[in-house]
Amino acid sequence: MGIESGLLGGERLKARYRVHRFDVVMGTAQVRFEQFLNSLEGEVVSVIPSVSPSWTFAGMGARTYYFWVIEKVDQP
């Protein structure tokens, strides 16, 4: 996917992005997510959680099911 990101000397530049979905498994999520982020080749632009409401013993809460990770990659 290419997105125009500006002008350089009259030439249009295009940035390339990869979108990854990282599923959250409670208990091992932190270590796995850290390893996943360190394995990416490009620059992480954004991490977007998918959060849904859920009931807990204390009442209403929220649960994260997965993350969308947006990675900016270098052009070949």
Give the contacts of 36 (CB within 8 A, at least 6 positions apart). 20, 22, 69
Q: What mean pLDDT is predicted for residues 16-43?
A: 90
| Residues contacting 65, CB < 8 A, separation 6+ | 23, 24, 50, 51, 52
The candidate with the shortest Cα–Cα distance to 15, out of 63, 62, 72, is: 72
Task: Look at 35-39, 56-60, 68-72 and tell me which has the smallest mean pLDDT.
Answer: 56-60
pLDDT for residue 2: 47
Distance CA 69, CA 22 (A): 7
76 DSSP 8-state letter = -
Q: What is the pTM of this model?
A: 0.71
What per-residue confidence (pLDDT) applies to 20? 95
pLDDT at 7: 46
CA 53/CA 30 separation, integer angstroms: 21
